[in-house]
Amino acid sequence: MDDPSFCNFELRLLGMRGDDEDDLEEERVEVFGNTASPRIDGSQPETKTEPDDDGTGAGGNGAPSGSSASNKRSRSQSMLRFNADGSVSQWEYKPDVARTELVKLIAREDLPLCFGESAAFEEYIQKAHNPRFRSVSRQTTSRDVFKVFDSQRAMLIETLKSVSSVALTSDIWSGNAKEDYLSVVAHFVNSNWQLGKRILGLVLIDVSHTAENISKRILSVVQEYGLTDKIFSVTLDNAAANTKAMDHLKPAISGYVGDLYLHQCCACHIINLIVKAGLEIFKNMLADFRSAISFVNASNQRIALYKSFCIAKGVRPRKFGLDMDVRWNATYLMLKNLLPHKGIFSVFIATNHPPVNGHALLTDLHWTIAETVLLFLEQFYDSTVIMSGVYYPTSPLIMHHILEIAGHLNTYEKDRNLRNVVVPMKSKFLSYWSEIPFLYSFAFILDPRAKIRGFSNVLQIMTGNYSEYLTEVRAALSDIYKKYEAKFGDVRLQRATPSSSCGKKKTAWGKIFGSSASGSSVGAGPGVGDGFASASPGAGLGASASPIPGFGASASPGAGLGAGLFSRRTSATALIQAVSSTANMNASELSAYFDSDTVNQFDDDFNILNWWHEHKHTYPILSLLDRYVLNVPVSTISSESAFSLTGRIIEDRRRCLGLAMVQALALIKDWEQAESKKQHSAENKELIKSFEYLYLDDETTGDGDGTGTGDGARAGTGT
């Protein structure tokens, strides 16, 4: 506070500057900047608007020169920002950064390229955030999109150089613009042993979907990123053209560990085919439900009538969404949201809809069957959702869900309403999974809660004649381990000596597992009695499994779904090779892993990749193999989710976008979402919203996040 004895005090009382304020002002500017706050005497600093140099940036994107630049710096405002590490640094407005962030905003929110030149957007930014911002033209934004795309793609290529192996998924999508696109998605485990996913390419396929055309486009993307010698597997749907395409691809991309496990079929697509085989029986009944919903939604007047009817009955009014024939999970959601309203909905339909053949459109039998179908489909829906994950390993889960689905079909075969439905579904199940892919078995065994004994018990539950398949799996696992040992043998120098608490020898396993699959649950791991602990997605093991009626009862064909499930014909040569391979496992990491105890952590937060990361010095070779086996996705959902991005980018009002721009926007969006793991959610949020959030009152419904993070469980796409 000023001393009244000084003349400066009297000067300030008169509204004049004291003769000491020049020094104070210099100190203030040095600390806070020239325009950070009003001057000490209360006056505002002088400001002057500089003309734009290039007409596109804020205050000019070009750098001012000479004394003008010096004067501008002296008048610039200094602002502080907090860095991620908690430190403080000076923030400076940079037009080029603003334009880069504008590109990311446009890509992430599916905004038009002209968004940056909008007068409303410019006014909003200037008034609320930065008065120096100037609009950016569509042409400038288009150039910036490709700059950002090229920069981020270069960084991704560098990232993938440090990755030993990747697993690919690919799928084809037909858009409303009569243009088909093929997506290629890479899955990998980063240096922190976390799963990563990036869309590598979104390529126009404007020719027939032949094996040659599909393989050429996939290979062009792989070569662009330098991954031809890093491909561990490629997961595709079960179309015949895809199988033939892999024959074209194998010579070019099998340089990593060969082509024996290169081609993997989409498990969710198989589940889709199984379900659709059964729903064909209910085609007429489902058509009646669709007719009833269409009747209510036919006009605004009828919707208003139904709304008034619901309010009069004291029920919150809502509309109902229609499913699509090609997406059975939409049928599940349609019935799930309709059944809680069956009382009022059926009365309204009976009152207002004309009779059909002398009967109400929806009868009690319709609702009874709908309830049964909904309960029946729940297992398939849940399995599809879990198999659709991209941020946790799905390959060790698939055996559990195969076991669950097999038991589910056997159980419902006894239901008189579903008996005729289950028969074609069983046939479809066995046509795809009568021989379980080796990779599924490897992933299950490499779960430290299962290992060989847990896998053996699972096979015993599924069929009484499993010994040949078990022997063949052990031999195949030994062979691929040898390939990894030859390829990465130098990492063995890092190997630590296993501790004595690592586990017991095989001779003591019987005390833990018992003599049969259902005889013990202590330390037995999955597949042994109650050892199938329920786990949420990402927990490692997934859904619970229980002994299946009809499995193991008889080995004769037709005795049950499990009879002959593992009917792989094993030749004498293969068995001799298996015995030889098993004998050579002595003193290897693989045999040490088999001899160790199973892990008894069945809680939801168990992370298989973390376990192997923590034991990588104990099993340096085997941990590398596990790292890439667990990385393999069992579905193509990650590729299908790319099309939900594309669908919004090339919607009706944006069909003029060029092919290169479509790819750039879709990939930038995916890469930006990857940083926060928002690329994909297991459940299809958009599909769920289209059925759940259809209320007709004024209350706000839904989560309203508008993230649109992936297409989720698109099991019924029929692509």
Looking at per-residue pLDDT, the higher value among 507 and 605 belongs to 605
Among the listed ranges 266-275, 530-539, 631-640, which one has the minimum average pLDDT value? 530-539
How far from each other are the two terminal CA atoms of the chain, in whole angstroms?
78
Q: Is the pLDDT of residue 643 over 80?
A: no
Instruction: Please tell me the predicted confidence (pLDDT) of residue 63.
Output: 41
Average pLDDT of 379-406? 90
β-bridge mates for residue 197, sequence order: 187
Average pLDDT of 529-537? 35
Q: How many CA atoms lie within 13 A of 85 on its CB side?
A: 3
| CA-angle at 694, arms to 692 and 700, nearest 5° | 95
Model confidence pLDDT, tens digit, residues 103-134? 999 998 889 899 999 999 999 999 998 888 88
Among the listed ranges 138-152, 593-607, 662-676, which one has the minimum average pLDDT value? 593-607
Beta strands in 356-437 (DSSP E): none
Instruction: Please tell me the predicted confidence (pLDDT) of residue 548.
Output: 36
Tell me which residue of 256, 143, 153, 147 sits closest to 201, measured CA to CA: 153
Average pLDDT of 259-270? 89
Looking at per-residue pLDDT, the higher value among 569 and 469 belongs to 469
Instruction: Please tell me the predicted confidence (pLDDT) of residue 179.
Output: 76
Average pLDDT of 238-261? 88
Q: Is 619 left (phi over 0), alpha (psi -120 to 50) or beta?
A: beta
Question: Which distant-in-sequence residues (6+ apart) come within 8 Å of 364 by Cβ?
Answer: none
The residue length of the chain stands at 719
Average pLDDT of 641-665? 69
Model confidence pLDDT, tens digit, residues 407-459? 899 888 888 878 889 999 999 999 999 888 999 999 999 999 999 888 888 88
Which pairs with CB-CB distance under 8 Å and at least 24 residues apart come from 612-619? 612/193, 612/446, 612/448, 613/193, 616/494, 617/494, 617/495, 617/496, 618/495, 618/496, 618/498, 618/502, 618/589, 618/592, 619/495, 619/589, 619/592, 619/593
Instruction: State whether residue 247 is helix, strand or coil.
Output: helix
In the chain, the percentage of residues whose pLDDT exceeds 70 is 66
The pLDDT confidence band at residue 648, using thresholds 50, 70 and 90, is low
The string of DSSP codes covering 100-139 is: HHHHHHHHHHT--GGGGG-HHHHHHHHHHT-TT-----HH
Instruction: Please tell me the predicted confidence (pLDDT) of residue 123.
Output: 93
Instruction: Please tell me the predicted confidence (pLDDT) of residue 129.
Output: 87
Looking at per-residue pLDDT, the higher value among 556 and 624 belongs to 624
CB distance 51 to 60 below 8 Å: yes
Q: Is the pLDDT of residue 630 over 80?
A: yes
Instruction: Please tell me the predicted confidence (pLDDT) of residue 438.
Output: 92
Q: Is the pLDDT of residue 384 over 60?
A: yes
The pLDDT confidence band at residue 175, using thresholds 50, 70 and 90, is low
Looking at residue 160, its amino acid is L
Instruction: Please tell me the predicted confidence (pLDDT) of residue 502.
Output: 37
Is 3.30.420 the CATH classification of the domain at 152-266+635-676?
Answer: yes
Return mean pLDDT, the chain: 75
Instruction: Please tell me the predicted confidence (pLDDT) of residue 7.
Output: 57
**Euclidean distance between CA atoms 452 and 470, whole angstroms:** 9
Among the listed ranges 73-77, 224-228, 327-331, 714-718, which one has the minimum average pLDDT value? 714-718
Domain chopping of the chain, boundaries: 90-145, 152-266+635-676, 272-434
Model confidence pLDDT, tens digit, residues 287-310? 999 999 999 999 999 999 999 999
Looking at residue 568, its amino acid is R
Distances (CA, A) of 491 to 160, 192, 310, 448, 485: 20, 17, 69, 21, 9
The string of DSSP codes covering 603-668 is: STT--HHHHHHHTTTTSHHHHHHHHHHTT--SSSHHHHHHHHHHHHHTSGGGTTS-HHHHHHHHHH
Distances (CA, A) of 507 to 91, 100, 511, 513, 596: 67, 64, 9, 11, 11
The count of other CB atoms within 10 Å of the CB of residue 396 is 26
CB distance 664 to 149 below 8 Å: yes
Q: Is the pLDDT of residue 477 over 80?
A: yes
Q: Kind of pairing, strands 166-174 and 231-236?
A: parallel
In the chain, the percentage of residues whose pLDDT exceeds 90 is 39
Among the listed ranges 74-78, 378-382, 589-593, which one has the minimum average pLDDT value? 74-78
- For tokens 């710096």, the residue is 73
Q: Is the pLDDT of residue 212 over 90?
A: yes
**Euclidean distance between CA atoms 56 and 134, whole angstroms:** 7
Average pLDDT of 585-606? 78
CB distance 238 to 266 below 8 Å: yes
Average pLDDT of 529-536? 35
Report which listed range, 392-401, 505-514, 581-590, is most confident: 392-401
The pLDDT confidence band at residue 64, using thresholds 50, 70 and 90, is very low
CB distance 75 to 35 below 8 Å: yes
Structure tokens at 705: 């996040």
Q: Is the pLDDT of residue 578 over 80?
A: no
Instruction: Please tell me the predicted confidence (pLDDT) of residue 675.
Output: 82
Instruction: Please tell me the predicted confidence (pLDDT) of residue 525.
Output: 34
Among the listed ranges 186-190, 260-264, 339-343, 397-401, which one has the minimum average pLDDT value? 260-264
| Crossing angle of the two packed helices 419-433 and 398-412, in degrees rounded to 10 | 150
Model confidence pLDDT, tens digit, residues 318-365? 999 888 766 788 888 999 999 999 999 999 999 999 998 888 999 999
Instruction: Please tell me the predicted confidence (pLDDT) of residue 651.
Output: 55
Tell me which residue of 669, 692, 684 sits closest to 717, measured CA to CA: 684
The pLDDT confidence band at residue 9, using thresholds 50, 70 and 90, is low
Question: Which distant-in-sequence residues (6+ apart) come within 8 Å of 31 by Cβ?
Answer: none
Looking at residue 232, its amino acid is F
Q: Is the pLDDT of residue 27 over 80?
A: no
Instruction: Please tell me the predicted confidence (pLDDT) of residue 649.
Output: 53
Looking at per-residue pLDDT, the higher value among 167 and 604 belongs to 167
Model confidence pLDDT, tens digit, residues 480-519? 998 888 888 765 544 444 443 333 333 322 322 344 333 3
